Amino acid sequence: MSLAAYKQHHKTTSPHSNMATLAEDDRSDDSEDDDDDETDGFAALQSAWISNDELDDCMGRARDASTTKGYKSAVKKFLAFCVLFMATQQVCSDVLKLNDDDSGNYGFDVPKLAKSMESVHGPYFQYTRQYQQRLQEKGKSGIGGIKQLRSGLTDLFCSASVELSNLALKVLTLWQKSRNRDDITFRSSETKVAQ
């Protein structure tokens, strides 16, 4: 029953007959579900357990190779930034550790990196602000690169089975909003200059 027809019907009938009409409408809606091609319930459709290999294969299709390559590249640049400043900035040295392969190279101490996300004084925030400023000097936004780094770090945390705290998630959300606002301000100032 359309809204207009319902309102018209409501004006011309008593409240008790309206309830009967609504009950009739509910029954007619139920019968439409019976006509679906999928007459079996969810339980009947799940007749066999899906193997872990098949689930891994499905998850592997979440991103294509070029996307994953971009994420790894963004994380690698962030790591290089932290290594560059580790001698002078404790927040950078705190999130680094020597790799186990005796190469003398540094990698992230992933649990400490996750903990550093709880304060805007951590290296991620310093890096993303500087990154955005550099790109804006070139007339670009920087938001895409920041999102790429966030996705790359998410992959890093997941692969290390490290969860971000609720505080870190909140700080990251607010930080991304601040980056978006700076981007809007930048774009509006660029538009004014162009006019």
Taking 80 as the threshold, does the pLDDT of residue 42 lie above it? no
pLDDT at residue 13 in the model:
46
Task: Check residues 73 and 14 and name the one with the higher pLDDT.
Answer: 73
| Arithmetic mean of pLDDT, 61-90 | 90
Span 11-35, pLDDT tens digits:
544 444 444 444 444 444 454 555 5
pLDDT at residue 170 in the model:
97
First to last CA, the chain: 54
In this prediction, what percent of the chain has a pLDDT beyond 70?
73
The secondary element (H helix, E strand) that includes residue 23 is helix 15-34
pLDDT at residue 22 in the model:
43
Task: Check residues 22 and 80 and name the one with the higher pLDDT.
Answer: 80
Listed ranges 36-50, 53-67, 95-109; the one with the highest mean pLDDT: 95-109
In the chain, domain spans: 3-34, 65-194
**DSSP state, 175?**
H
| Arithmetic mean of pLDDT, 49-62 | 80
pLDDT at residue 66 in the model:
76
* 3-state SS assignment for residue 161: coil
Taking 90 as the threshold, does the pLDDT of residue 59 lie above it? no
pLDDT at residue 48 in the model:
73
pLDDT at residue 161 in the model:
96
Residue-by-residue DSSP string for 51-98? PHHHHHHHHHTTS-HHHHHHHHHHHHHHHHHHHHHTTT-HHHHTTEEE
pLDDT at residue 101 in the model:
87
Paired with 107 in beta bridges are: 97
| Band (44; pLDDT cuts 50, 70, 90) | low
